[in-house]
Structure 1
Amino acid sequence: MNLLRDNELIYGRLLRVEEPHLIERYNKALKAFGLPPTKLASFEIDRSGFSPQIAEELGDPHYLDPNQVNRRFIILAPAQAELPVVHTAFSNTSQLIHEFFVKNSRAIDALTIKDVIYGEIEDSVSKVETIEDLLSISQVEFRVLSAEDVLGKAAELGTLVDRLKQEPDAWRDDEMLRHMVELAKVCGDIRENALVPDQVIFRHNAFWTSHFGGLYVFVDPDMTTVISDPAAPGFRRSRPWQVSYLSIHDADRVFKFLASSGRLELPRASWIETSDYLEHRAEMAILALIREAEPQRDIANVDKVWLQTWIHGHADLINRDGIFPFLNAAKREIRQRGQMRMEDAAPQHRFLVVRAKPDHPDAWLTNRLISEFVPSDFAARYIFNKQAFYTDYEKLTEPWRSYVVDRLKTAYLSDKTALRTRLYGLVDRER
């Protein structure tokens, strides 16, 4: 993983913490969680406050996520709002924390001047043992604390201010007035500084979770759909009138669900011909075949002529695989008819020619699910399904690791927005 880290393809864009007062505040949060303080002189944190360096120091990658539910967070600075979340058991953790930052920006700005904000994203379960535990989570609440209890003192000061306004003789209480002055020294003028968060409860909608080997939950008005390995505990055992269960190994049913629920953009000339989407998929498919056939080959400097020669020389292998011929046939059909008859395609191949509907709220999650069925496309796996990408990367030989890293650096990291917009029609922020 060192090559990925050196090129900011893992743990990239994090916030460096090296000021002594910020390290001291972080340690106060760790102590509140029952964890030992860090001895590091500097470290990096993500949006949630997770630090890969501290995880390594503690020997515990789940130090902020002990049961992979009720995620902990540590906020040192408002700038964390723009960072990624690099370690989580739920795909929507990043979005929930971002919403918390947005809805409570004034309080976070004011509090982090003096204190560290920490706490847990609490839901209705303390441990996930079956699918039903996951389905019972409909909303989450941010339980917010601060090391110096600035939040508590601000609330107390607010109560005393109300008393001063409402009780005619309250101003005669010298002890109360002295206590208000002491509180104000910590909180400042609470009429100007909003120290108490405005919103701490948020909806918990569609998500992917790492539990049970990876599980997807999609929420529609009349039905919740679970997509996972059928071996997951509770599969098809809970509320069949409200919950539909699909095996992640059943490409046909998964595709039909995504299409019928309006989450897929089907292959039409209007976007296929301007995005180079099929050309991208075809190149990824050929690279996967080369990787399997020649795992030690260094292809860092190969050109299109070499690639075309390889394709001609391995026609039998390519035809047996079937992906490259299928994509070429799809291009011809779309060029001639403006669209493609999906029912004629094998279920597994259908995912090669579709993308998530860009304006659907579940677009990122849907693209993640699509990537499960297109393992050859390492770029899509990296963008939408980093856990799967990192697993794939570990299996690569050194020449191919170098190639994948260089390819992602030049094709994606150089301009993420442009590539996501061209291939996937996405213009919103990275999740």
Structure 2
Amino acid sequence: MKRLIERGLMFGNLIRISSPALIERYNRALKQLTGKKTRLKSFHVDISGYSPEVGDSLGDHLYLNEGGCNRQFILLTTEQKTAPLLNAQFSTSRGILRQFIEENEAKLFALTAKDAVAGELLNSVYSVEEPTKLFDIRQVTIEADTTEAHVKSAEELADKIERFKREEDAWWDDVLIAEMIGLAKKTGDVTRAPLKLKKMTFGQDNFWTKHFGGLYVFRDVENPAAICAGGKAELGELPIKYVFDFTDRNEIAIFLELNDLVEPIVKARGVDAAAILQQKMDFIVVDVAAGKGEKLDHATRRDIRALTRRYAADLPEEFHGLASLLRWAQGGGKWPRITSDHPAYFYTLRAKPHKDRDLVNMLLAALTPKDIRQLFICHKERFYHSYAGWSDAKKTYVAEFLEREYQVDKAGARKALFGEGEPMEEPAPLPEPEDLIELVGPRGAVRRRK
């Protein structure tokens, strides 16, 4: 992984922690959450406060995510909102954490100025030892406070202030006044600077999880299904009507079409379809050439064309299917019939713009592993796993390509693939109970979330 790390393609945008004060706060939070401490003098953290260096030193890279179910987090600075989430077990976790930080940024900025904020992404399931447990997860709620309980103390102080205002004899209640003074020394004036963090709950209807070899769950669609990267027989009976694995190509294609989740790249707006198809073909050529022992350092498009000619007889059906579609896109060929049985089929698709666009592109990336750019952008867990098994020649080419074509302009690369006006979407928080009337009025049913 050295090539990726040196180019900022792995462990990039992590937050460096080297201040003794911050390390001391981190250890207080770590002790509170896990009972452990680190002796490291500097390390890097992701959006959740997880550190690969600390994980190495503790011999436990799930030290903030025991069982991979309810992720705990440590916030030392609001700058963590721009960091990635490493060792993700659920596709929704980073978006949830980022929105929590952004919605509470001013208060978190004040709290982290003097203490670490520790918390947890809570759901009703505490273990996912059985695949069926995943389907009991419906919501994720964030619970957080400082290690010295500033938020809880602020809530207690606010309650006592209200009691002081409400009760006629409160002026003579020495115990109440002493309690208020004691809490105020810790929290400051909560009437002027409230420390209450916004409670946020997120729906967990459609998601990917790393558990059980990788599972894509789609419940909030017209035709629900679960799609597993491993064998579906190993999962047993699941509480959802349809369960597919990657060998069920026709069924997955029908599922995507019935739910209107995908569109052909050649018919998508705002993209250069021919350029995308050509790049996918180049990746396939690189895969074949690397397997033949070719050196691919600093390989140019001209070099890849030469390799295409050299290994034309060895190129797989994916290449030939995309080549026929490219000829049509460039106006020099007839429309090719590429059905879901064809190995190139899923390479010809992208997700339509909708709330689960990123999840669908993640699924497509797993179904088209030779498209290394989409795999890296949409499914980093699977990319890093695949990368470890590639030849040195392919590793070198991929690292150089991603540094040259993606790392220098991430937004531009995503625009080239996904088009204009379609930012990477985050999970939407559910409305709190008092907000429901604003959505539907004092009468009438609550609308189903889209």
TM-score by length of 2: 0.88
State the match for 1:278 in structure 2. Answer: 277
1:118 and 1:146 in contact (8 A); partners too:
yes
Give 1:347 deviation, angstroms. Answer: 4.0
Distance 2:166 2:363 in 1: 57
Shift of 1:344: 4.3
- C-alpha change, 1:138 and 1:347, in structure 2 (3 Å) is farther
After superposition, give the CA deviation of every residue in 1:93-149 in whole Å (9 maximum; x if it has no partner): 111112222333343223222221112212121111222200110001223232111
Query: Is the alpha carbon distance of 1:200 and 1:306 closer, same or farther for their aligned partners in structure 2, counting shifts above 3 Å?
Result: closer
What residue number does 1:371 align with? Answer: 365
Aligned partners of 1:333 and 1:340 also within 8 Å:
yes
* Whole-angstrom distance in 1 between the partners of 2:87 and 2:303: 39
Matched ranges for 1:228-247 at <5 A: 228=228, 229-231=230-232, 233-235=234-236, 237-240=237-240, 243-247=241-245
Distance, in Å, in 2 between the alignment partners of 1:400 and 1:337 is: 32
Structure 2 match to 1:314: 311
C-alpha distance 429-80 of structure 1, shift in aligned 2 (>3 A): farther
Asked whether 1:354 is paired with 2:354, we answer: no
Which residue in 2 is equivalent to 1:415?
A: 409
Q: Secondary structure at the match of 2:73?
A: strand
- 2:374 alignment partner, one of 374, 380, 384: 380
| 1:170 paired residue number | 170
Code of the residue aligned with 1:365 in structure 2: it is L
Q: 1:308 aligns to what SS in structure 2?
A: helix
Moved more, 406-415 or 109-118: 109-118
Query: What is the CA–CA distance in structure 1 between the aligned matches of 2:391 and 2:298, rounded to whole Å?
Result: 17
Q: Is the 8 A contact 2:43 2:54 kept in 1?
A: yes
Report if aligned partners of 1:255, 1:347 keep a CA contact under 8 Å in 2: no
Task: Report the residue type matching 1:330 in the other structure.
Answer: L
SS at match of 1:114: coil
| Equivalent-residue separation in structure 2 for 1:172 and 1:417 (angstroms) | 63
Aligned-pair identity (%): 30
CA distance in 1, matches of 2:268, 2:207: 30
Counterpart in the other structure of 1:292: 291
Is 2:57 the counterpart of 1:62? Answer: no
Aligned length: 423
Cα distance in 2 between the residues matched to 1:155 and 1:430 = 33
Q: Tell me, which stretches of 5 or more residues in structure 1 are unaligned?
A: none
How far apart are the structure 2 equivalents of 1:196 and 1:273?
45
Using the alignment, how far apart are the partners of 1:223 and 1:267 within structure 2?
A: 23
The CA deviation at 1:398 is: 2.7
Write out per-residue CA displacement over residues 49-105 of structure 1, whole angstroms, 9 at most, x where no aligned residue.
111110011011111111010111111111111221122211111111122223333
In structure 2, the gaps of 5 or more residues are 427-450
- Match for residue 258 of structure 1? 256
- CA distance 1:335–1:210, shift in 2 (3 Å): same
Query: For residues 132 and 223 of structure 1, what CA distance do their matches in structure 2 show?
Result: 19
Rate the CA distance shift 1:210–1:17 in 2: closer, same or farther, 3 A.
same
Would the aligned equivalents of 2:375 and 2:382 in 1 still touch at CA under 8 Å? yes
- TM-score, normalising length: structure 1: 0.91
1: CA distance, partners of 2:220 / 2:146 = 37
What secondary structure does 1:115 align onto? coil
Partners of 1:428 and 1:272 lie apart in 2 by 13
Return the alpha-carbon distance in structure 2 between the equivalents of residues 192 and 223 of structure 1: 50
Give runs of aligned pairs for residues 16-415 of structure 1, distance below 5 A. 16-228=16-228, 229-231=230-232, 233-235=234-236, 237-240=237-240, 243-269=241-267, 271=269, 274-275=272-273, 276-294=275-293, 297-318=294-315, 321-336=316-331, 344=339, 346-357=341-352, 359-415=353-409
Answer yes or no: is the 8 Å Cα contact 2:29–2:147 preserved in 1.
yes
